[in-house]
Structure 1
Amino acid sequence: MVASAVSISVAVVVAAIVFKQLLLSPKALTLPPSPPSDPIIGNARFMPLDSAWKTFAKWTKTYGDVIYASVLGRPMLIVNSVEAARDLMEKKGAIYSDRPRMFILGELMGWSNTLPFLSYGERFRKHRRMMQQHFNSHAVTAFRPVQSGQVHAFLRRVLEKPENFRKDVHRLIAGSILMATFGHEVVSENDPYVSLVNRTTKMSTEAGSPGGTFIDLFPARALLHFLQLRHLPTWLPGMGLKRHALKTAELVGEVMEMPLREIQEKRAAGSAPHCYVNHLLDEYESSGKIDRQHEEDIRCIGAVIYSAGVETTEATIAAFFLMMTRCPEVVKRAQEEIDRVVGSDRLPTIEDRPQLPYMECIMKEVFRFNPAVPIGIPHQSMMTDTYRGWTIPGGSMILPNIWGMMRDEKYYPEPESFNPDRYLSTVANDSSDSGDEFEGKMTSVREDDPSSIVFGFGRRLCPGRHFAEVTVWLTYACFLAVFNISPYVDPETGRAEPPEVLFAEGTSSNPLPFKCTIVPRSEKHARLVQQED
């Protein structure tokens, strides 16, 4: 009886997919160009499993910058150009700001009420308001002492054990975000909250990329509801994914509770730290109302700032170290600029940023060369739309290929070359003292400014981008001010071994482990690192 019911359900599902494909066929609608398609499964046979962003970028030469695809009846739109991304997700944000349903990561694992996964609506807008209140370009200046202190501590650790720089980068980002968000100080590599989030993130991403698991892509949710995946016992064969998701959900719950417990204990003891979540709790308590959903909102927002921010910022800074190891001429130019503007008696501060244009160019080029999230978290269209004469079906999953945009030769000639000079739009040699070729004005770089692309688009733009940019810039400038970095030298052969440009694939693009040589520029620079608080 059960087998018969399943057979009927499967038949209904297949019929629904075929009917939907007929409705969305080029004969019925004028869809954007698409790879070859098969009956029922659509473009599934041609969809890449690894390095999808590279395949999508190659497709641009054949199909253009806006590509339609369908997997088992699920319509998708691959967006490979900044122009199209902004046309859709910014100019038509009211249509393209939703999120596709993420059954595994969102609903089973417990991330569904966090900002990256919320459907577009009032709760999403509330979370954004709560974030922007304290992380907009003006309010974020309150966190600068925290960020500077964490960068200086990072320099001291690198001076002591340069071979541990990758671990120290992770601790730098974790310490900065946790101190700003929860007032929690990371005092060791084995910090319990850092360890918990690392484990949770690993388990969350093992199931697949956001919105990209088989269940997320499968359009016939009726079959999922029939099988009642949520209610089937975990001991049944084929329930491995559910077992993994439920274990992850336990960790996600603890990620949201642990730092909140700590800050509430400090508040009860009268020693509440100056931090983001403490401000939210002050505002909530002053309202005099009991609002359980708002309490959950505070938990979710605090947890997602750390969970979403650490991995991506760490990947960006690690890419900086990789490229500086390979590009000694870039290091030298940056150090000349820092020495001229800042000198050698102090470390750079964020106030020096406008006077250090080449450092700005380096930051932009690192963003471009290795966007931490090669394919942004998918958007979803909320209604049928038209674009360039094509029909974009309602409910389409929108995949912004940020990596492909950063390889657009229209804006970035020789895109595989790491070249900060590409952003120096004008050079004014109006200083008779230095005559330095990097002194001068930088014009805004419009569509080709990586800083305006890698953090996403429209109403889904990362609200923590201002905080992240300051941490990244300070780290780059302070590190180059006091350290030299070069390829590792084999002690037996005496030969330098430049690292290969290799990145781990996953939800973020992080350089694979590599060796390099890091030494202070001089004894004076070493003392400067030691004396900074």
Structure 2
Amino acid sequence: MHSPTSHTLRTLSSSSLSGKEASVIVLGIIVAAAIFLRTFSSRKRSNYPYPPGPSGLLILGNALQVPLVSPWRKFIEWSSTYGDIIGLSILGRKVVVLNAFDDANDLLSFRGANYSDRPKMTLSADYGGWDFSLGMTRYGADFHLKRRFLNQSLNRGAIPKYHEFMTKHARSFADRVGNNPDQVQIYSRMHTAANILWMTYGYEVLDEDDKWAKMADEAVEALEATGTLGGHPIDVWPALGKLPFWLWGQKFVKQMEVMKTTTHDMVTIPYETVKEQMLAGTAVSSLTSHLILENTDYRGDIMHERTIASSAAIAYAAGADTSRSTLTTFFVAMLHYPRIQQRAHKFIDLLLKEQRLPVMEDREQLPYIEAMLKETHRWKPVLPAGIPHGSLKDDVYKGMAIPAGSMLITNLAAMLENPQDYPKPQEFRPERYVDIDGNKVTFKKDFRDPGDIAFGFGRRKCPGRYFADAALWITMATILALYEISPVIDEDGNPVLPDLEYTQGIIRHAKPFRCVMTFRSEKMQRVFDVQNPEI
């Protein structure tokens, strides 16, 4: 007796269909069967209901209802019907959407032992080379070792040793963007890459066409081209990855080839370069050189070599593109909210008195700039849907069942636009966080810090958050001390403002825009020239 599947295969092989057409049909049958088995074989009876959500289709579940572009907006829309916790099923996988901070914090932080896993991202991790990434590493020994390596160089106490080069890079960026403001987004990319590549490898970025910066950009772009992380059928049913990739189309084959090559280069080339420099005695102190020294035994063998190379690549891949997005959002905000820019100028001038440029030691004395940084993180979140967590064991929360192996999506956009925490959330308002009494600025005692959301939750919280904040703060303060940022005026005399709708990908970016950078005074221009003669 033959199974229905074997009968179908025999029928297809004897038909007039081409080999490719038959293979596509077979693929569809296999996918459907795999999802059906996953959906029904894994069902367990529970005394508690699954979180409420929209009804889906047999086998596909809610897959066709979740938009590929800006899914967080649909999640916000659904929350008005189903509540802050939404239960979905996508191709047989249980997906729980968390729209509220308290729920995300309860589960991912206070119950972090159960919710610090990642859903298996087979496509990008196993076939695309992204298994090095901390963001895709499953919870366990490898995760903890990578996290420890990164924390050694990126914990709060380690950041002051980077202040000098952060300040130098901020001034170089100010010079470049001041001379050519039309290239603000290109220079933002170069600037954030320069900070991270120097910290990670002791490598100096000298121009916008830098080969190492481009190499990492290409790897990230290739990752984004495959779509939502964890959303491909191969991620849901890894056995499908054993089938020929051309079954998914030639474009898919090309994307996977590019991703694997660029990712391999990003991880190995900088690491091997630093290792060669150390042997030659020319290496600059960096995260990579420090980890190599710390893990070299008495015979000269380097332990955990793959993890060291991975940790360094994680720092760049995870940090450069996100920081670039945040920095360009700062410029967008200044163009749309000139009153806030003027207020920032006032508080900077009260401290610096047009006699010097800001330094990192000024940070505590410029709380309004700190509030602007917090609002920049909140206003246009870089990762609006976060990076999904995974549950290790069955759990019950607020009377609802969360099965083991569920994917938990933290809808950061919903949390950062919550009008209870942030009234009029579409507006850029640093005053949310501070009280202003004349020339005195003090932080309010009770507010939801956007950094507690934007950088993730629990044991998966971004390890580079202190580095990113310090680099962004000195860059913003330097720009504000020197320049007035204003919009380009069109031929009819109207200001041309940036589009507030951002590009939609894993990481959001502002669409191309232009601005005008004008020195605020001749005195500040002289101060800049005197304090930075080498620029």
Q: TM over 0.5, yes or no?
A: yes
Distance 1:237 1:508, change over 3 A: closer
- Output the amino acid matched with 1:524: K
Amino-acid identity (%): 34
Q: Identify the residue that residue 432 of structure 1 maps to in structure 2.
A: none
Preserved CA contact (<8 Å) 1:97 1:458? yes
Alignment of 1:121-520 (within 5 A): 121-216=140-235, 218=236, 220-222=237-239, 224=240, 228-229=242-243, 232=244, 238=249, 240-286=251-297, 288=299, 290=301, 294-424=304-434, 426-427=435-436, 429=437, 435-436=438-439, 439-445=440-446, 448-490=448-490, 492-520=491-519
- Output the amino acid matched with 2:500: V
**Deviation string, structure 1 residues 326-350 (Cα, Å, up to 9, x no partner):** 1110000000000001221111112
Alignment of 1:17-166 (within 5 A): 17-20=38-41, 23=44, 29-166=48-185
- Output the amino acid matched with 2:166: Q
Following TM superposition, by how much is the alpha carbon of 1:285 offset from its aligned partner in structure 2, in angstroms?
A: 2.0
* d(CA) in 1 for partners of 2:501, 2:442: 34
Distance 1:512 1:445, change over 3 A: farther
* d(CA) in 2 for partners of 1:51, 1:413: 22
* d(CA) in 1 for partners of 2:108, 2:224: 25
Q: Identify the residue that residue 22 of structure 2 maps to in structure 1.
A: none
* d(CA) in 2 for partners of 1:238, 1:157: 43
**Deviation string, structure 1 residues 251-299 (Cα, Å, up to 9, x no partner):** 111111221232223222222202111111111225546456x100111
* d(CA) in 2 for partners of 1:12, 1:209: 23
SS at match of 1:197: helix
**Deviation string, structure 1 residues 463-519 (Cα, Å, up to 9, x no partner):** 0000000011111111001100112112x3222223331201001111101122211
Preserved CA contact (<8 Å) 2:184 2:514? no
Following TM superposition, by how much is the alpha carbon of 1:18 offset from its aligned partner in structure 2, in angstroms?
A: 5.0
Following TM superposition, by how much is the alpha carbon of 1:202 offset from its aligned partner in structure 2, in angstroms?
A: 1.1
**Deviation string, structure 1 residues 136-156 (Cα, Å, up to 9, x no partner):** 000121111111111011111
- Output the amino acid matched with 1:493: D
Distance 1:296 1:412, change over 3 A: same
- Output the amino acid matched with 1:381: S
Preserved CA contact (<8 Å) 2:31 2:233? no
- Output the amino acid matched with 1:122: A
**Deviation string, structure 1 residues 69-119 (Cα, Å, up to 9, x no partner):** 001210001010110110000000000000011112111111113211100
* d(CA) in 2 for partners of 1:2, 1:210: 35
Preserved CA contact (<8 Å) 1:22 1:28? no
Query: Structure 2 length as normaliser, TM-score?
Result: 0.91
Gaps of 5+ in 2: 1-5, 11-25
Partner of residue 13 from structure 1, selected from 19, 34, 56? 34
Worse-superposed segment, 120-129 or 511-520: 511-520
* d(CA) in 2 for partners of 1:165, 1:9: 49
Distance 1:371 1:12, change over 3 A: closer
Distance 1:38 1:4, change over 3 A: same
Following TM superposition, by how much is the alpha carbon of 1:400 offset from its aligned partner in structure 2, in angstroms?
A: 0.3
* d(CA) in 2 for partners of 1:411, 1:300: 37
SS at match of 1:100: coil
Following TM superposition, by how much is the alpha carbon of 1:310 offset from its aligned partner in structure 2, in angstroms?
A: 0.8
* d(CA) in 2 for partners of 1:29, 1:38: 22
* d(CA) in 2 for partners of 1:110, 1:39: 33
- Output the amino acid matched with 2:122: F
Following TM superposition, by how much is the alpha carbon of 1:20 offset from its aligned partner in structure 2, in angstroms?
A: 4.8
- Output the amino acid matched with 2:154: F
In the comparison of the two structures, how many residue pairs are matched? 511
SS at match of 1:485: strand
Distance 1:257 1:421, change over 3 A: same
SS at match of 2:213: helix
Following TM superposition, by how much is the alpha carbon of 1:213 offset from its aligned partner in structure 2, in angstroms?
A: 2.6
Distance 1:100 1:69, change over 3 A: same
Preserved CA contact (<8 Å) 1:177 1:305? yes
**Deviation string, structure 1 residues 139-180 (Cα, Å, up to 9, x no partner):** 121111111111011111122222222111111101111111
Distance 1:386 1:340, change over 3 A: same
Worse-superposed segment, 312-321 or 137-146: 137-146
* d(CA) in 2 for partners of 1:102, 1:379: 11
CA RMSD of aligned residues (A): 2.2
Preserved CA contact (<8 Å) 1:342 1:352? no
SS at match of 2:295: helix
SS at match of 2:120: coil
Following TM superposition, by how much is the alpha carbon of 1:15 offset from its aligned partner in structure 2, in angstroms?
A: 4.2
Preserved CA contact (<8 Å) 2:196 2:316? yes
Distance 1:340 1:118, change over 3 A: same
SS at match of 1:453: helix
* d(CA) in 2 for partners of 1:73, 1:143: 47
Query: Structure 1 length as normaliser, TM-score?
Result: 0.91
